[in-house]
A and B are shown apart, each in its own frame.
Chain A
Amino acid sequence: MNTEAVKAIYKNEMRRTRNTLLQSIAAPVISTALYFVVFGSAIGSRIESVEGVAYGAFIVPGLMMLSLLTQSISNASFGIFFPKFTGTIYEVMSAPVSFFEILLGYVGAAATKSFILGVLILITATFFVDLRIAHPFWMIGFFLLTCVTFSLFGFIIGLWADNFEKLQLIPSLIITPLVFLGGSFYSVDMLPAFWQKISLLNPVLYLISGFRWSFFEVSDVQVGISLSMILLFLLVCIAIVWAMFRTGYKLKP
């Protein structure tokens, strides 16, 4: 195991974040704060509590998930896409590193950034709403699993994308709608019966539901199902990455 290489990639990626601190960290925090002001305070003050939870607090887990998902994907996909785009990937590909080590470095850094971001959003939220976390361990568990899984997913997109359009395609066309329709801002119980059933096809619903349960013990689906779904998605991502690496997909002619 070439731990020096994993460290080098990880540190290099984290340094890139420090160089673009505003874009990487400040922007998502500000936009989340805006969500709190608009949905939590302005609109939320006119909405009764949802399942016994004040609306402002109710949306916190959903908002965190919204940022974690989009930022994990964007960090990890850009992290591997950029060296591919500039050509600097040659160095990683000709170094004595295995694909697993490359993955560990890039995905590890992307997941770390998302984790830091999530913590910042959580802290931001406490300025606006009264938060309680019923199951902190479960909360951290869901939190970490989401960071890792979606960084892995982003890494796959970054490997697959060979232009900037493709890089943006999946996040904007698929992930954002799934997150918004996955109950970030509402409980699926509020939907008509038909749309409730449709919502159950949305994998993000399970994430948000499980995460929300760890805060408030209210959920749209059972927490066990939520956990299974995210683990399943993690396994799917690992399988795809493994297959890509075995064939040298788009990295090695």
Chain B
Amino acid sequence: MTERKTIVSVKGLTKTYDNGHQALKGIDLDIQEGEILALLGPNGAGKTTLISTICGLVSPSDGSVSVAGFDIIKDFRKTRELIGLVPQELTLGAFDKVINTVSFSRGLYGKPADTALIDNLLDELSLGDKKHSMVQQLSGGMKRRVLIAKALSHEPRVLFLDEPTAGVDVELRKDMWAIVERLRQSGVTIILTTHYIEEAEEIADRVGIISGGELLELEEKQILMSKLGKKRLVIELKNPVDALPAELDEYGLTLSGDGTKLTYTFDARQERTGMTSLLSNIATAGLVVKDLNTQQSSLEDIFVDIVAAEA
């Protein structure tokens, strides 16, 4: 992954809105070609401001952004041609046919009309039979697909999806993930913002965690999870106990209701996890271990920890 070419480079990006709200506080971020990057963060974290700035919808206060080596302000034509944006809101003109609004997008990006390409795109997004429908007659999920079709109509190399599955039912969310996966296979770099951890966990290669206008973490998903993840060791005892023996006080164990399971939480980042001494102390206390089981914490646990630590 790391040898991949950087396609979007964000350096020291800050944004302070006119009302004084500082939405971005010095973001540095390199996005690699062909990856799926999930930007995870609570509402108001600055995710949308970040991608809006890269796409040219918001003027940066300081710092710079380049796409494929071109500056987003000086060479805005070159950078924007490479980018497609699917906004968070279902913003579509009410009185347009699907085919017209998608063709309009292509023209706007300076590409000559290409009926075959648009037809193909609509088919891929299961919009083929809705080609001549008015957009206001479509369901929310279909509208989302139309927005994706619009964003892809000019064959961008980088696609930004702002909360693609916000307020979308499970079925459609799975659909959306499949679409994203297909796009990745076609070589498109995808950046999506989300506040659904499971979404990042499911489809992203790398996860960036944004909170309060700062990029707190940026790691490959597995590394982030193992690096930051707390692990739980569940110890199953042969014979139930009524209370924890005094020898085990220092480990902060929890005992299950039936007295057969001890749970030990430890930090996988630490050199010494304390597991060995725990197990020997268990033996000293005269308990017999029946089974051992460790569990990785989910991205959600990690996320809550990081954001809580910053607050």
Interface residues of A (CB under 8 A from B): 2, 4-5, 7-9, 11-12, 15-16, 19, 82-83, 86-88, 90-97, 248, 252-253
A-chain residues with CB within 8 Å of residue B100 when the two chains form the complex: 12, 15
Cβ-defined contact, B89 with A87, below 8 A:
yes
Cβ-defined contact, B55 with A94, below 8 A:
yes
Binding site of A, secondary structure by majority: helix, strand, loop or mixed?
A: helix
Interface string of B291-306 (1 = CB under 8 A from A): 0000000000000000
Partner of B109, one of A83, A96, A248, A252: A96
What are 7 A-B contacts defined by CB distance under 8 Å?
Answer: A4-B110, A12-B100, A12-B104, A83-B93, A91-B105, A92-B108, A252-B59
Partner of A94, one of B18, B85, B111: B85
Known: A2-B77, A86-B93, A88-B91. Contact between A94 and B107, CB under 8 A?
A: no
A-chain residues with CB within 8 Å of residue B110 when the two chains form the complex: 2, 4-5, 95-97
Known: A12-B104, A83-B93, A87-B87. Contact between A94 and B57, CB under 8 A?
A: yes
Task: Give Cα A97 to B79, complex, Å.
Answer: 11
B81 on interface, CB distance cutoff 8 Å: yes
Known: A4-B110, A12-B104, A92-B108. Contact between A86 and B76, CB under 8 A?
A: no
B216 on interface, CB distance cutoff 8 Å: no
Cβ-defined contact, B95 with A91, below 8 A:
no
B146 to chain A, nearest CB (A): 12
B-chain residues with CB within 8 Å of residue A93 when the two chains form the complex: 56-57
Task: Give Cα A2 to B18, complex, Å.
Answer: 31
B286 on interface, CB distance cutoff 8 Å: no
Cβ-defined contact, A253 with B108, below 8 A:
no
B161 to chain A, nearest CB (A): 14
B223 on interface, CB distance cutoff 8 Å: no
A-chain residues with CB within 8 Å of residue B58 when the two chains form the complex: 252-253
A250 to chain B, nearest CB (A): 11
Known: A5-B109, A8-B104. Contact between A96 and B92, CB under 8 A?
A: no
Cβ-defined contact, B91 with A90, below 8 A:
yes
B246 on interface, CB distance cutoff 8 Å: no
B251 on interface, CB distance cutoff 8 Å: no
A-chain residues with CB within 8 Å of residue B309 when the two chains form the complex: none
Partner of A96, one of B59, B81, B94, B103: B81
B112 on interface, CB distance cutoff 8 Å: yes
User: Which chain B residues numbered 53 to 97 have a C-beta less than 8 Å away from chain A?
Assistant: 55-59, 76-81, 83, 85, 87, 89, 91-95
Cβ-defined contact, B94 with A86, below 8 A:
yes
Cβ-defined contact, B83 with A253, below 8 A:
no
Cβ-defined contact, B80 with A248, below 8 A:
no
A-chain residues with CB within 8 Å of residue B107 when the two chains form the complex: 4-5, 7-9, 11
B-chain residues with CB within 8 Å of residue A2 when the two chains form the complex: 77, 110
B-chain residues with CB within 8 Å of residue A11 when the two chains form the complex: 104, 107
B17 on interface, CB distance cutoff 8 Å: yes
Cβ-defined contact, B76 with A96, below 8 A:
yes
Cβ-defined contact, A94 with B80, below 8 A:
yes
B150 on interface, CB distance cutoff 8 Å: yes
- Nearest B residue to A3 via CB reads B110
